Each structure stands twice: as structure tokens, then as C-alpha cells.
A = this chain, B = another copy of it.
Amino acid sequence: MNTIYETIKEQATAMREQLRAVRRDLHTYAEAGWCEIRTSSLIAKRLTELGYQVLTGPDVCLAEARMGLPPEEQLEAEYQRALQQGAVQPYAERARGGFTGVIGILDCGEGPTIAMRFDIDALGVFEDKGMEHLPAYEGFCSVNDGVMHACGHDGHVSIGLGVAEILMNCREQLRGKVKLIFQPAEEGVRGAKSIVEHGHLDDVDYVIGNHMGDSAGGDYQIGLTYGSTLASTKMDIYFTGRAVHAGAIPEKGNNAMLSAATAVLNLQAIPRSSEGDTRINVGTLHAGSGRNVICDRAKMEVEVRGATTAVNQYMEDYARRIAQAAADMHGCGCEIKLMGATESLQSDPDMIRYCEKVCREKLGLRPTPPGQNAGASEDYAYMVNRVHSHGGKGLFFSTLAPCAGQFHTKEFDFQEDALCNGVMAFCALTYSLMCEEPV
């Protein structure tokens, strides 16, 4: 008779085709953050069919804690688009207006509560249509121009639904509660906080998340790291001045261009910190209305990052002060809109070792030795930190696959055979934590 781990492994391996199919369907109908109407409705429908208690709409994301939402009109247009692309009612209606998160709950009695996070949104990238790009060659390129799953979240959803199925199959052997969290708007670190603020992590003992990673020619299958992702804050800064004819009465204007340029240089010049790595970027700046008119408006997209949440806060506070002073300097107004934010993420070291052991010993997978990583940000950090705050433990691991292209570029793709490794890792960890030994 099989052990439960062998069962998990068999079932996961057996759903390889299904995992690929789900991923390709999502890849075809890629949806950007807060606009994942179709994706959300399909997840909710599937979880419901499997027998999960399903939360949708405002029950998942706290409305006022969502960040960086598109304008109302765009949300509505996306809803209509989604309906035409197969979004399923009544779930689509629930997701309308930027409520695209879904949570599936499976209660198996006494035992720990284990949450798993799967992010579901795509990026603002125009997908490569060339025949050397496999999704183009095999016909599952994004049909939504300028929106592409260039970060592998299509794979994450596919894994999540695979996990949902297997855990439901094994529910008799489980002890405790499973929460499968399908999170919208991870890109731009906009969505996780609204789920955390709703309280969904408050009773969680273990939270597990994963991300696709590039195996880069090696033969590792699961990636582990001690290193942390960077805390980050995304802000849009608006300067408003007064437009007048630049030749006739320049002294009557308030030149928002000068405020913006002063802000750019000083933002970049925020002193380095001895308390950890920092980043600052003014990614875009759009200012002015005509060559011979004093510029009366400027918008810049800014992000700061920090090795720790505290260092990131230092950067954010300093950046806000600079923006306000740069506006004051030229008699301009300044408005700062928070577009996204995340804390620094650090897996619990014991969870890393636990995962390493389960993967190797129970599943025969090859995990990497835990190393460092750098530069990226992930709002899953909010979930881990909330769980850590009440004494629980969090883990973030990578499902490694051979990849084409860089993440976030139009050429990105990954080999789908690896998806079943992610599925079995989640399931095995859940079983082990619930039934074998705590971390």
C-alpha cells in the first residue's frame, strides 16, 4: 500500500496534461491586476465544484486596502471583455469592480491552519508573436494585446488548482484547515495587503507561497533561499502649477517642470543607508502641454525599495518630503498617490530546512542549497509577516523550470512539466505539517 506521499506524487504526476491545459488557457486570456475577472471566475467555479467553501468579492479583499486600482471605466470595460472571453457567472459579477481575489477553504477538523498563496495576475507586456516564441508557435499567445503572463502566474494558478484537487482527494487523511488564497494584483505589489487586512491570515499557523524560477540549465527542481525580497513602496507623484505663455509672461506661471526636475535629482540623491540596501527609481515622467507654455502639470511614477521594511520606510518618508518641498519651491501643488507597497520577506529558516527535507526525502525532488537573492519585491511578504507576527511560520520557495527569455519580457516562457513538482511540494508540506511533525 502506498504512503500518502506516494499518492500525492502519483496524482500530481498524473495531472501533468491538465496542469498544462489550465496554464495555457490562462496564458491565452491573460488579465492584468484587479482585472482578473475571467481568471477569478474560473477559479471560484472550480473550487466550488471540488467542494471547497469559497470566498469571493469583497469577502476576500478589504476594499479600502486595495492599492493601485485602474479607473472605474477601465474596470468596467474589463468586466465586459471578460464576459466575452468566457468569464463564468455568478462569479464574474462578484469579481466586478476590482474584487478578483478568491479563497477556498477546506476544514479537516483539529489541527493547524495552513494557508497557501497563488497569485493570478498578468503584466503590461506585449507578447512576442514570433514563431521562436513557443506560445506563439503553439497558438496560446495572449489575445489581450499588451497584457501577458510574463511572470509565470498562469503557472501559479494552475498549480493552485492542482493542489486543490489533490488535497480534496486526501481530505480524510488531513487534520486542520486548508486555505487556498488566489491573490490578485501582485504585480506592482498591490493586492496582498487587502487580503491580510481583511484578517485571512490571522488564524494561520503556516503560510506557503511559491514562484516559478529558472532552473538555468541545472537539475535542481525546488529553489530555496534565506535571502529576503526587498520591501517597496510605489507612488505616483503629481505636480500642478500654472500654465502661461512662456515668451510673454513667464513670471506669471508656476513651473511644474522645475519642481519635477528638482524632485528627480534629489530623489535619486537620497543618502544611502548603513542599515541595508536601498533602491530608488523615477521610472517615468510626463510633464507639460506645449513647447511655448510654462508646464503646469507633471506626473512621475516612483518606487523605493529597502532591504528591510524600516529601511524602505526611511526611503519613502524621505521621498515624500522631497516631493512636497520641490512643489513648494516653485509654488506648485503636490499630490502623492500610493500605488503599491510591500514589506520585506524572509522565510522562516526552520521552514526552509523542513521544506528541503520533505522535498528530498518524501518526494525525491532536488532542492537547491539555501542561498541569497536580491533586488526583487513580493507582496506575499505581508502574509508571511502577519503570520510571523502571531508566532506562525512562513515559507517562500521556487518551482524551478527551464525558462526562455527573462522574466517580465515578451519572450518569457517556462517548461510546463515542472508544474507538477510545485503541486506535490505544496501537498506534501501540508500533509507533513498537519499529520507528521510541526516545524
Task: Name A's B-contacting residues (CB within 8 A).
Answer: 124, 188, 230, 232, 234, 245-253, 255, 257-258, 260-262, 264-266, 268-269, 271-275, 277-295, 298, 301-303, 305, 314, 321-322, 324-326, 328-331, 339, 374-377, 408
Contact B277 A272 (CB under 8 A): yes
Rounded to whole Å, the gap between the CB of A286 and the closest CB of chain B is 5
Contact B271 A288 (CB under 8 A): no
Q: Is the interface of A mostly helix, strand, loop or mixed?
A: mixed
Contact B287 A288 (CB under 8 A): no
Known: A248-B374, A248-B375. A268 touches B258 (CB 8 A): yes
Q: Known pairs A251-B274, A255-B271. 15 more at Cβ < 8 A?
A: A247-B279, A258-B266, A260-B261, A261-B265, A265-B265, A266-B330, A268-B269, A268-B271, A269-B269, A272-B280, A283-B290, A283-B293, A285-B285, A286-B287, A292-B303
Residues of B within 8 A of A257 (CB): 264, 282-283, 285
Contact B325 A246 (CB under 8 A): no
Rounded to whole Å, the gap between the CB of A127 and the closest CB of chain B is 16
Partner of A251, one of B275, B286, B376: B275
Partner of A272, one of B251, B287, B298, B376: B251
- A375 closest partner in B (C-beta): B248
Partner of A247, one of B245, B252, B377: B377
Known: A265-B269, A314-B251. A246 touches B279 (CB 8 A): yes
Residues of B within 8 A of A280 (CB): 272
Complex alpha-carbon distance, A256 and B72, angstroms: 33
Q: How many copies does the complex hold?
A: 4
Partner of A292, one of B275, B278, B281, B325: B281
Contact A245 B290 (CB under 8 A): no
Contact A329 B331 (CB under 8 A): no
Contact B264 A272 (CB under 8 A): no
- A321 closest partner in B (C-beta): B329
- A247 closest partner in B (C-beta): B375
Rounded to whole Å, the gap between the CB of A31 and the closest CB of chain B is 18
Contact B285 A289 (CB under 8 A): no
Contact B258 A230 (CB under 8 A): no
- A124 closest partner in B (C-beta): B290
User: Can you list 17 residue pairs at the A/B interface with Cβ under 8 Å?
Assistant: A232-B247, A246-B283, A250-B281, A260-B264, A261-B262, A262-B266, A271-B294, A272-B280, A274-B374, A281-B294, A283-B294, A285-B285, A285-B286, A288-B301, A290-B301, A292-B303, A328-B328
Residues of B within 8 A of A339 (CB): 291
Contact B247 A230 (CB under 8 A): yes
Residues of B within 8 A of A293 (CB): 281, 283
Complex alpha-carbon distance, A138 and B156, angstroms: 62
Contact A258 B265 (CB under 8 A): yes
Contact A249 B283 (CB under 8 A): no
Contact A285 B288 (CB under 8 A): yes
Which of A251, A280, A289, A324 has the most C-beta atoms of chain B within 10 angstroms of its own C-beta?
A: A251
Contact A295 B279 (CB under 8 A): no
Complex alpha-carbon distance, A118 and B255, angstroms: 34
Rounded to whole Å, the gap between the CB of A246 and the closest CB of chain B is 4
Contact B331 A321 (CB under 8 A): yes
